[in-house]
Structure 1
Amino acid sequence: MSPIQHLACACGRFALDVEGAPIARVECCCDSCREAGARMARLAGAPRVLNEHGGTGFVMQRKDRVAFVAGAEHLKQFRLAADSGTRRVLATCCNTPVFLEFKGGHWLSLYAGLWRDGALPPLEMRTMTGDLADPSALPDDVPNHRRQSLRFFAKLMQAWIAMGLRVPKIEVAGDLRL
């Protein structure tokens, strides 16, 4: 198992520890991540999450290997629609995106911006490139999958089995309207 990585929001009031290797380091190009990235970018001082071709970087980590160690009272969630199965969570002290969570998911998709220079795991794949207007403009440095690939789902299933098929709950302080 890899050592513990200490991560924090931009201002340092919120911090979390991540233990062990990630499930995967991905870049999502779906319409929802692009819409959420645009909404978050309108917040005062918010770091940019969308890259030059519209992707959002994530490090997928088992929930049982993530611990909030300071400032959890700053965490607030928002959904793109009231009935959305996903929520995005920010540290409202400085509007730093922290994670995306799928309803019923056993992992957190931590925003790549939490990692400092040189510490971010290498990109493994892009997903949901079929949502882009021109996916052919993407670099070919990693596989560019139109949707989620079999490898993507296999990594998630392997992590879930290693967790004993548990789905830990992650509580946050409240809601945001974006």
Structure 2
Amino acid sequence: MTVATTELRCNCGQVRIAAEGKPFIAAECYCNSCRAAAQRMAALPGAPAVTNAMGGTPYVLYRKDRLRFVAGQDKLRAFRLKPDAPTRRAIATCCNTPVFAEFQSGHWLSLYSGLWPDGAAPAPEVRTQTGHLSVEQRPDNSVPAGAWSTARFYGRLLRVWIAMGFRVPKVDVPGPELTI
């Protein structure tokens, strides 16, 4: 049986990723870290915005062992909001396209949904960290959010890690980290 592969690209096409099979979840994050990182990345020359109309960051989560860089991995550079931050984000420096967010010791990559052609990214199934927003800023109820939805999200992360045999593959991002 063959597994479908989706080719993802940065805006200029120099960085390409082969994503095997389907993602295990699509999510929108509203945490302070993702919102601050989105602002910094959007300020880069020619960079696309990564947030949606409500200020959330749409991600598509894949197991690391189901992703392969086909081209342009040498163009990736990482940055952190602070030197000791546990989250590193990678940008395609050829066109300043945000590529992924990676949590320290994480077994998955949160790929920015902008890597998919227009309209082709999976729709979000959950909103996380909406508690970081004021009541006035909170998004509508069109996508599940809150404690139970977040618990199911973490349950999926655990099931995927078990299926991977508790492995945490490394993702190489060459060169020094950027200061943004």
% identical aligned pairs: 51
Q: Which amino acid aligns with 1:94?
A: C
- What residue in structure 1 maps to residue 60 of structure 2? 59
Which runs of no fewer than 5 residues in structure 1 stay unpaired? Answer: none
Distance in 1 separating the partners of 2:113 and 2:65: 19
Which runs of no fewer than 5 residues in structure 2 stay unpaired? Answer: none
- After superposition, the Cα gap between the structure-2 partners of 1:5 and 1:135, relative to the gap in structure 1 and judged at 3 Å, is farther
The alpha-carbon deviation at position 136 of structure 1 amounts to 6.4
- TM-superposition CA deviations, 1:42-83 (whole Å, max 9, x none): 100000011222100000100000000001110000000011
The alpha-carbon deviation at position 118 of structure 1 amounts to 3.1
- What residue in structure 2 maps to residue 126 of structure 1? 127
Superposed, which structure 2 residues align to 1:88-167 within 5 Å?
88-134=89-135, 137-145=138-146, 149-167=150-168
Aligned length: 178
Q: Is the 8 A contact 1:130 1:146 kept in 2?
A: no
Distance in 1 separating the partners of 2:163 and 2:151: 18
Distance in 1 separating the partners of 2:82 and 2:55: 21
The alpha-carbon deviation at position 151 of structure 1 amounts to 0.3
The alpha-carbon deviation at position 134 of structure 1 amounts to 2.6
- After superposition, the Cα gap between the structure-2 partners of 1:139 and 1:71, relative to the gap in structure 1 and judged at 3 Å, is same
Distance in 1 separating the partners of 2:52 and 2:147: 18
Q: SS at the partner of 1:139?
A: coil
The alpha-carbon deviation at position 146 of structure 1 amounts to 5.9
TM-score (ref. length: structure 2):
0.94
TM-score (ref. length: structure 1):
0.95
The runs of 4+ residues in structure 1 deviating greater than 3 Å are none
Q: Which amino acid aligns with 2:173?
A: V
- Aligned residues: CA RMSD: 1.6
